[in-house]
């Protein structure tokens, strides 16, 4: 067998081995948290997602074994039944409370909301696999109804609002004033799709990956795995094999992102990393990452480009750095 083929086999085997040690028994399924301290303009009862505020009818929480169908119109359940996905009938709001158009991204707000810091890279072809590790930081010392998301993921730079595949660590989202993990696929037809979430704790080791399940060399793959796993408590949030990529060519990789909302003071950020976590100081480290092209050949040194917001209120020395690992400070 040629060296490249061995590399592809090793990539998939290692990933499946890591996930296989994580239990699928997550217990009772949480729901996205209703925003109690929402910005002005967001209607009552809307819930928090990594894509802004949604009406709860527009957030599809999948159960274990559910599959987002490639026809973009249905969810197939483990028992074989199928539910049609209806277009969202409600407006969507950004982290700042402003109503968002279908093709608008909530990451360019002048206050401490939206995508605060990120590291990304694009290609002229496509990516087939992205993985990374990070530790759950300490809880914030203050409670202002804020939410925090840390994630990596893949997107199509030519159609950025069609969907994004991402494994996510969140604070005050599915679990009130607590950390949790969830995998997301958003936002075809205005709907956000969430795999079953699971609670996690400060210091836990998170492994998140997005992997195409098509034949090697398929540039626009229709089927993907999106997995967020806690290797410490053995819990997992996973879209089943063959989850839809909605016809996207995923040529935009995010190695690490910090997204926030309702930040009123610097104490709303995590109070540093937990004891035993990677790195030090008020920061989170995305490390031991792997980024692969659509032939599942590893990219040795991705040219991560850092993007941060400036002129924020409050100003808490936010930032990001590369290249050995992606470090996001707050």
Task: Supply the pLDDT for residue 79.
Answer: 87
Does the pLDDT of residue 2 top 70, yes or no?
no
Task: Supply the pLDDT for residue 170.
Answer: 96
**What residue has token string 């050995």?**
324
Does the pLDDT of residue 63 top 70, yes or no?
yes
Residue 307 near residue 117, CB atoms below 8 Å: yes
DSSP-assigned letters across all residues of 60-117 = EEPPTT-EE-TTSSEEE-TTS-EEEPPPP-S-EE-TTS-EE-TT--S---SSS-EEEE
The confidence band for 45, taking pLDDT boundaries of 50, 70 and 90, is very high
Instruction: Report residue 250 as tokens.
Output: 């995923």
The confidence band for 112, taking pLDDT boundaries of 50, 70 and 90, is low
Task: Supply the pLDDT for residue 278.
Answer: 73
Distance CA 225, CA 183 (A): 10
Does the pLDDT of residue 323 top 90, yes or no?
no
Does the pLDDT of residue 302 top 90, yes or no?
yes
Distance CA 236, CA 227 (A): 7
Instruction: Report domain extents, the chain.
Output: 3-329
Annotation: CATH topology of 3-329: Jelly Rolls (2.60.120)
Residue 50 near residue 183, CB atoms below 8 Å: no
Name the average pLDDT for the chain: 84
pTM: 0.88
Does the pLDDT of residue 86 top 70, yes or no?
yes
pLDDT digit string, tens, across residues 196-243? 999 999 999 999 999 999 999 999 998 899 999 999 999 999 987 678
């Amino acid at each position: 067998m040629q060296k490249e083929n061995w590399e592809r086999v090793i990539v998939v085997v290692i990933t499946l081995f890591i996930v296989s040690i994580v239990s699928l028994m997550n217990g009772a399924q949480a729901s996205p948290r209703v925003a109690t301290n929402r910005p002005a303009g967001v209607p009552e009862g809307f819930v928090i997602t990594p894509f802004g505020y949604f009406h709860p009818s527009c957030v599809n929480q999948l159960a274990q074994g559910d599959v987002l169908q490639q026809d973009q119109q249905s969810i197939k359940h483990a028992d074989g039944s199928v539910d049609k996905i209806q277009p969202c009938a409600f407006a969507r709001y950004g982290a700042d409370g402003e109503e968002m158009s279908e093709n608008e991204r909530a990451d360019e707000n002048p206050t401490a909301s939206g995508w605060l810091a990120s590291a990304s890279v694009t290609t002229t072809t496509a990516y087939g696999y992205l993985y990374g590790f990070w530790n759950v930081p300490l809880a914030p010392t203050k409670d202002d109804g804020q939410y925090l998301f840390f994630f990596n993921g893949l997107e199509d730079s030519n159609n950025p609002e069609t969907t994004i595949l991402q494994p996510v660590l969140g604070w005050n989202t599915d679990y009130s004033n607590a950390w949790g993990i969830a995998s997301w696929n958003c936002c075809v037809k205005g709907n956000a799709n969430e795999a079953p979430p699971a609670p996690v704790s400060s210091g836990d080791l998170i492994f998140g990956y997005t992997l195409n399940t098509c034949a090697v060399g398929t540039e626009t793959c229709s089927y993907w795995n999106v997995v967020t796993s806690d290797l410490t408590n053995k819990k997992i949030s996973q879209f089943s094999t063959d989850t839809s990529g909605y016809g996207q060519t995923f040529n935009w990789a995010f190695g690490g992102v910090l997204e926030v909302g309702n930040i009123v003071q610097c104490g709303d950020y995590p109070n540093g990393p937990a004891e035993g976590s990677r790195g030090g100081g008020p920061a989170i480290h995305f490390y031991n990452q792997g980024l692969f092209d659509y032939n599942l050949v590893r990219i040795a040194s991705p040219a991560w480009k850092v993007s941060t917001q400036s002129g924020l209120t409050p100003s808490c020395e936010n930032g990001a750095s590369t290249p050995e690992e992606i470090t996001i400070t707050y």
